[in-house]
Amino acid sequence: MKISLIVAISENGIIGKHGGGIPWKLKWDAEHFRSFTAGKWMLLGRKTYLEMEGWFTSQTPVVLTSQSDFPIFQKEHHRAVDIQEAIQLASDAGADELVISGGAQVYETALPFVDEMFITRVRERSETGVKFPPISSLDQWETTELEFHPADVDNSHDASLEKMVRKNG
Ligand SMILES: NC(=O)c1ccc[n+]([C@@H]2O[C@H](COP(=O)([O-])OP(=O)(O)OC[C@H]3O[C@@H](n4cnc5c(N)ncnc54)[C@H](OP(=O)(O)O)[C@@H]3O)[C@@H](O)[C@H]2O)c1
């Protein structure tokens, strides 16, 4: 099973506001996120899962939480207490791919297991917020795709979408 990661990051590493929410509005990126995850298993931290209530359609979310009685929104959703349990759940169900979908704590925990990353790099510098963890050993990754998306009436900032693949992956 492939493990991918999807994230949007500002120029100074911010992925979200403290207390929830994202400091930009990119219509193309929201559409890309929905179509990329369609039909796939997703791993989310408890805080991000709660922010996304009502968003899931064909996706199968697994919520990472230490709370064994955490109430999931629908019976088709899953709960895992650690990354190993989440990977096992998706793999046992025959999933082809598990998409690591944030937030910051989950990205940090899952990064060592990730084969490829889809990073939306947003040309903005938020003052404060929740940060993406540093990617150690950047030389282990290569950029295989890069496309630019200019700001316009539906998109608050210039941004680019970068696909990075682990070299030995
Ligand atoms: N820009 C983007 O692409 C993007 C994507 C997703 C999210 N975000 C943003 O990220 C922010 C949220 O990130 P966050 O780091 O604060 O929260 P988070 O990762 O969404 O959730 C944190 C919670 O997940 C659980 N958790 C995390 N790691 C765990 C582990 N190893 N084992 C067991 N449980 C674990 C814990 O839940 P319990 O406390 O229940 O144990 C923890 O409190 C929001 O602002 C959101 O909008 C941005």
Q: Is the CB of 15 under 6 A from ligand 1?
A: yes
Q: Read off the CATH number of the domain in which 38 is found.
A: 3.40.430.10
Q: Which atom of ligand 1 is nearest to the CA of 16?
A: 45
Q: Is the CB of 64 under 6 A from ligand 1?
A: yes
Render the burial of 106-144: b for 16+ CB within 10 Å, e for the rest.
Answer: bbebbbeebebbbbbbbebebeebbbbeeeeeeeebeee
Ligand 1 geometric centre to CA of 33 (Å):
17
Q: Residue 135 — very low, low, confident or very high, per pLDDT cuts 50/70/90?
A: confident
Q: Which atom of ligand 1 is nearest to the CA of 9?
A: 1
User: Percent of the chain beyond pLDDT 70?
Assistant: 99
Whether 158 shows a pLDDT value over 90: the answer reads yes
Domain count, the chain: 1
What is the overall mean pLDDT for the chain? 96
pLDDT tens digits, residue range 18-77? 999 999 999 999 999 999 999 999 999 999 999 999 999 999 999 999 999 999 999 999
Q: Model-level pTM?
A: 0.97
Beta strand 2-10 pairing with 116-122: parallel
Q: Is the CB of 17 under 6 A from ligand 1?
A: yes
Ligand 1 geometric centre to CA of 85 (Å):
17
DSSP conformation letters of 38-71: TTSEEEEEHHHHHHTTTT-SS-EEEEE-S-TT--
Domain that holds residue 98: 2-166
> Which run of H or E residues covers position 103?
none
Please tell me the predicted confidence (pLDDT) of residue 116: 97
Q: Is the CB of 82 under 6 A from ligand 1?
A: yes
